[in-house]
Structure 1
Amino acid sequence: MHSSEQGASSQSIAAAVKDLMHRKQVPERQQSKKLAEILNLSYSHAHRKLNIGADWTISQLQVVAEFFGETLASIGLGEGAGNESQTVGMMTKGLFVAAARLHEYPCIMWVGEQLHATRRMDFVAYQENRLWRVVETANCPNNVVRYKVNKLEIVLKQPQVPTVAVVDDEQGFADNMRDFLNESGFKATAFYNTTSIERVLHEGGTFDGYILDWILGHRTAEGLIKQIRYSASPAAPIFLLTGEVASGLADEDELARVITQLDVQIREKPIRLNQTLTAELHKAFGA
């Protein structure tokens, strides 16, 4: 839902910034890292801005444009035709009020200039107790200052499904764990070697949690755990599975050091796939 004058959406802003970086020869894999450096953001925050439609502010866009020697208008983020003094409008979060204030929905709005009584718009924005609201003009209170709405995005909140990476070189076990987690309210992906999961991490991919076999091929999972701890989600819970302590293939001293230094939880194989496990995982992942 939007006014007759189009503003820039979060997605179109991200596309314009990515196109700018591409023109400035920033490799696609490095764009989130470069944006984090330019705006002094965390890698994950920068990644969300470029790929998941997170909010942008005018000042951030100006900083990015100036860093590359451009203007907002030159990269397609100005409203006016060649008028660099005009921008996409003030972006802010607020509430879209529908059905004569009976329903309110979170939204992102681009607020334009103040409106005078003689100018009619389908929707207007106003502030109430420091919170922006968008309403149909007929339902706007009389004693407030009204503003033009350049664009409006309704935020439909979807339930967050925790993502889990299952890494085990025993494919049958990995598949069974993945299927069990998917049936239990998670979104799980199975990996059968360190190479495949390391590639995902290298490209900036993250998961809300990890279930790793301690012995992967001819090496332990310690190197992989360190990569996770230095990834975009360094605090993600890690459950480490092992059934080789009794056989001597898993060194208890080494496991104790990894638990202490890298903040992982150990579970013995064979592990029971039951409600106790899912409850424990939901708690650990904050779901």
Structure 2
Amino acid sequence: WTIAQVKAVAQAYGESAAMLLDGLDSGEPVGALAAKMQEAVFYVGDAEYRCLADIGERAHDVSGLEFVALREGSRWKVYPVESAPGGDYFVVEQILIRPRDAPESSPVIAIVDDDPLLTAEMCSYFHSHGYIARPYNTEATFRAALGENVFDGFIVDWLLETGTAEAIIQSIRQSRHGDAPILLLTGKLVTGEANEDEVARVIQQYDVKPFEKPAR
């Protein structure tokens, strides 16, 4: 709101502009407030919303509270008090809901690795951060998807069942996704199973960014 808009509303109701601002908090900038808030998931009935939550101290008494937070590992979950599952509750001071992007506008990441457990874990990580991630455990399934889907980025393991990922990386660069970032994963340089010279050549030739497994 501009100052002029605040004044106009106040005048329309015969009040002072200061009165409209008295109900606000101490004036902490929204950016500073958001910076101290925690990433969380807000559960309302069957719906789930990604949000930021200002989480306070442990709630030893939930009477009078409208919402509570529960910690599950490194994740926070926020519930209305009446529907919260049992657990160690924390006070929720504020909830900031961030509208979810339409699926077609969310970045789509293709993850190519012949280890299904690894691709599942990586997809879960990206989903929790607002991305769409799709796992491909064989070269054939990935190649079929490459021509039919829009991808914004790729994570490719260097050693696959069919050999190295050089042909796949070349196909990506020659496709309509040719300028998308490619992250190249390998955990076999130390063991000698991956040829360091080949990896270095592919990195330079196709502009890929390497990460050694295990990668955070």
Compute the TM-score of the two structures, normalised by the length of structure 1: 0.39
Counterpart of 1:252 (choices 183, 196, 199) is 196
Matched, 1:241 2:185: yes
Q: Which letter does structure 2 place at the counterpart of 1:221?
A: A
Runs of 5+ in structure 1 lacking a partner?
Answer: 1-156, 273-287
Counterpart of 2:131 (choices 165, 186, 199) is 186
Provide the C-alpha distance between the structure 2 equivalents of 1:166 and 1:158, rounded to a whole number of angstroms: 21
Instruction: Please state how far the C-alpha of 1:158 moved relative to its aligned partner.
Output: 4.8
Counterpart of 1:206 (choices 137, 150, 158) is 150
Deviations 1:148-199 (A, max 9, x none): xxxxxxxxx9583110001110110011001111111110000101110101
Q: Which letter does structure 1 place at the counterpart of 2:188?
A: E
Matched, 1:267 2:211: yes
How many residues of Structure 1 are paired with residues of Structure 2 in the alignment?
115
Matches within 5 A, 1:97-112: none
Provide the C-alpha distance between the structure 1 equivalents of 2:107 and 2:115, rounded to a whole number of angstroms: 23
Change (3 A) 1:258 1:182: same
Matches within 5 A, 1:1-287: 158=102, 160-201=105-146, 203-272=147-216
Q: Which letter does structure 2 place at the counterpart of 1:165?
A: A
Q: Is this contact kept in 2: 1:206–1:231, CA < 8 A?
A: no
Q: Which letter does structure 2 place at the counterpart of 1:258?
A: V
Q: Which letter does structure 2 place at the counterpart of 1:269?
A: K
- What secondary structure, in the 3-state scheme, does the structure 2 residue paired with 1:211 have? strand
Provide the C-alpha distance between the structure 1 equivalents of 2:114 and 2:145, rounded to a whole number of angstroms: 17
Deviations 1:52-89 (A, max 9, x none): xxxxxxxxxxxxxxxxxxxxxxxxxxxxxxxxxxxxxx
Change (3 A) 1:158 1:242: same
Q: Is this contact kept in 1: 2:159–2:165, CA < 8 A?
A: yes
Provide the C-alpha distance between the structure 2 equivalents of 1:231 and 1:207, rounded to a whole number of angstroms: 11
Instruction: Please state how far the C-alpha of 1:200 moved relative to its aligned partner.
Output: 1.3
Runs of 5+ in structure 2 lacking a partner?
Answer: 1-100
Compute the TM-score of the two structures, normalised by the length of structure 2: 0.51
Q: Is this contact kept in 1: 2:111–2:135, CA < 8 A?
A: yes
Q: Is this contact kept in 2: 1:168–1:192, CA < 8 A?
A: yes
Instruction: Please state how far the C-alpha of 1:204 moved relative to its aligned partner.
Output: 3.8
Q: Is this contact kept in 2: 1:163–1:188, CA < 8 A?
A: yes
Q: Is this contact kept in 2: 1:166–1:212, CA < 8 A?
A: yes
